[in-house]
Amino acid sequence: MKKSARSKGKVPGRRPKLSPEQVTELRKRAISHEPKAQIARDFKISRETLYSYLKTS
């Protein structure tokens, strides 16, 4: 009988691209009106990913 991935202790979904410390820094820079494209380039993420981190604040 097969065991499910969750029962083996696996967590579904993709790992976060940024650490919590990086997310804090990202939010500080966005609040200070730094261009979003520049922030995304510095963290090597897309602007879409940047906006999803800002949305979940």
Encoded tokens for 13: 């979904």
Q: Give pLDDT tens digits for 15-51.
A: 889 999 999 999 999 999 999 999 999 999 999 999 9
pTM: 0.75
**DSSP string of 21-40?**
HHHHHHHHHHHTT--HHHHH
What is the Cα–Cα distance from 42 to 39, expressed in whole angstroms? 5
Distances in whole angstroms, Cα of residue 46 to Cα of each of 1, 39, 49: 42, 9, 5
CA–chain centroid gap for 18, Å, is 5
